[in-house]
Amino acid sequence: IGYSGSALLTRTTHATPASKQEAFAALSQRFFTLLVPCCLILGINYYPLKVILLNYQIAQSFAFILLLYMSMTFLDFFSVLYEQLYFAEGQPGKLLLIKLIESVVVGITLQKMLSKTSIERVLLILCSIKLSCIIMMCAHAYHTWKIQLTFKKIMPIIIISSCIALLLAAFILIMYS
């Protein structure tokens, strides 16, 4: 994304929980403003994309991989945002433990599944692993610092875009299978 929140989070190290929540909300809001144009582009081009996906087998595979890659990119942003929080709060040990668990699970997954299954399924599993680790970081951050993502005005857009992305992924998966 090209926007670093380390400086902002570092300035809130000794601040009140409300100030930390406000800084974290500002950082997450920056990301969501970048997510809206992606959803608009997909929405505007829905019919041409549908025609291409229905007519070309390679396009279906490519579109599914592209959606998975975009999902990994969005998940990576949230991961980095929470990682910055852990470093700003002086808790790199707990972050290291979560990342170690993630690395072990990814290593086992790649070792067991890479040669036996398609790249699409491996990417889907990697997205699931990344999401699980983000959920662990979110739960720990909320338990420790009472910090959580706040969506304010953008929540309806996130719900709609998530539904669209899930429907597109399901459509591609059904057509591709």
pTM of the model: 0.70
Place of tokens 């909320």: 142
pLDDT for 103 beyond 80: yes
DSSP 90: T
DSSP 154: G
Looking at residue 101, its pLDDT comes to 93
- With CA atoms as reference, report the closest residue to 84 among 158, 132, 13: 13
Span 84-112, average pLDDT? 90
User: How large is the angle between the packed helices 155-176 and 57-88, nearest 10 degrees?
Assistant: 140
Looking at residue 1, its pLDDT comes to 46
Span 133-146, average pLDDT? 86
Place of tokens 């433990």: 97
Tally of helices (H runs) and strands (E runs) in the chain:
7, 0
Confidence class for position 97, pLDDT limits 50, 70, 90: very high
Span 109-128, average pLDDT? 81
Are 123 and 63 contacting, i.e. CB atoms less than 8 angstroms apart? Answer: no
pLDDT for 2 beyond 70: no
pLDDT for 53 beyond 50: yes
Cα 140 from Cα 130, distance rounded (Å)? 15
Provide the percentage of residues in the chain whose pLDDT is more than 70: 75
- Mean of pLDDT over the chain: 77
Provide the percentage of residues in the chain whose pLDDT is more than 90: 8
Cα 96 from Cα 90, distance rounded (Å)? 12
Q: Between these two residues, 160 and 63, which has the higher pLDDT value? A: 63
